[in-house]
Amino acid sequence: MTERDAAADETTGATPQASYAAAGVDIDAGERAVELITPHAKRASRPEVLGGLGGFSGLFALKGNYREPVLAAASDGVGTKLAVAQAIDKHDTVGRDLVAMCVDDLVVCGAEPLFLQDYIAVGKVVPETVAQIVAGIADGCVEAGCALLGGETAEHPGLMQDNHYDLSATAVGVVEADKVLAPDRVRAGDVVIAMGSSGLHSNGYSLARKVLLEWGHMDLFGHVEEFGRSLGEELLEPTRIYARDCLALIAEADVRTFAHITGGGLAENLARVIPQGLVAELERNTWTPAPIFALIQQRGRVEQLEMERTFNMGVGMVAVVAPEDTDRAQAVLTARHVDNWVLGTIKRSNDPKSTEAGSRVSLVGEHPRF
């Protein structure tokens, strides 16, 4: 370098021999992460998957004796539940949440989940952390019966903090055209069956964190007697995956439709599958929400309506079935170790011309011991 070049560098502040690593993207760490996640991706497979990891796209052969197959797709994320995982440095469960949020949306229309692709955005690639996340995703895919067909891990220095990450995924499923479950199948007299949730699932964490951590100053590592474990462990309880349970129910009973209870709560999500002219009348006295819901409501002085619009309140999935198949449907769920109960019935609306979704679900009574 000449004296003139050196002077120019001092004047401009230029950095010689800049690199991607110096800018914050570690390609070597990314390659190491791929090595660690490969075994997890391999165990979450199906016979229809063609090829392996490393291609620019995943290949899936749609085999089977389908008459008129319809593909269904659902995309979702995990939300601010990730902040809890990052705060206690536990990353092996949120992947299951990611799968659940996608495949449990798919099965609402009767679709069998076929495969899932994930997207992981990180501030800094820590191979071991990425491997924990993907291990959870693979666990979820195995439980749902779908393949982890591929995905993407992107490092975003300067945009995200080093220890932060975000997750999203898209799942694809298939259902015969004449087997698609939809609101037009629902009839007056049908029975609404609830399937118990495993806790908060993956919704309402912004409110839960505000109430318990910011206002309540509770310790994520602290033991909570009502839970029998730490607050962090309770908040990271994975979302239940109902996909195979719902498919088993379809095979054994006359299921009209399902409703996945996520953001918006029980009433708003169930209203999406109730046709105009009908109303689902639900009884709160048929179940008691888990202690985590009571803790949030009491600590935050949260009104009941706000709780019910934010959280699942203990109901993770709802099935609407023909009345004559109620006992059979409950027997199938019980045999599959799914907590379930009759939540209510479908009736004709007093205002059949109303187009408002809010008029299609009525919650009455009070929860016992809540």
pLDDT attached to residue 174: 97
Judge whether 90 and 236 are in contact, CB under 8 Å: yes
pLDDT attached to residue 352: 63
Fold of 183-364: Phosphoribosyl-aminoimidazole Synthetase; Chain A, domain 2 (3.90.650)
Q: Provide CATH code, domain 26-47+68-176.
A: 3.30.1330.10
Residues 6+ apart with CB under 8 A from 98: 76, 77, 78, 118, 136, 137, 140, 167, 168, 169
Quote the CA–CA distance of 176 and 161 in Å, as a whole number.
45
pLDDT attached to residue 53: 65
Judge whether 315 and 266 are in contact, CB under 8 Å: yes
pLDDT attached to residue 349: 87
In this chain, the answer to whether the domains covering 26-47+68-176 and 183-364 adopt an identical fold is: no
Tokens at residue 131, please?
A: 């491997």
Long-range pairs of 66-70 with CB within 8 A, sequence gap ≥ 24: 66/174, 66/176, 67/176, 67/177, 67/178, 68/176, 68/177, 68/178, 69/174, 69/175, 69/176, 69/177, 70/111, 70/174, 70/175, 70/176, 70/177, 70/180
Find the largest Cα–Cα distance for the chain.
92
Is the dihedral angle over the CA atoms 36, 42, 45, 51 positive or is it negative? positive
For residue 116, the cross-strand partners are 148, 171
State which H helix or E strand residue 154 sits in.
strand 147-155
Angle at 202 between CA 291 and CA 337, to 5 degrees: 65
Domain boundaries, the chain: 26-47+68-176, 183-364
pLDDT attached to residue 51: 77
pLDDT attached to residue 355: 56
Judge whether 345 and 263 are in contact, CB under 8 Å: no
Tens-digit pLDDT profile for the chain (370 aa)?
444 343 334 445 555 577 677 777 777 777 777 777 777 777 888 888 887 666 688 888 988 889 999 999 999 999 999 999 999 999 999 999 999 999 999 999 999 999 999 999 999 999 899 999 999 999 999 999 999 998 999 999 999 999 999 999 999 999 999 999 999 999 999 999 999 999 999 999 999 999 999 999 999 999 999 999 999 999 999 999 999 999 999 999 999 999 999 999 999 999 999 999 999 999 999 999 999 999 999 999 999 999 999 999 999 999 999 999 999 999 999 999 999 999 999 999 887 666 565 689 999 999 998 8
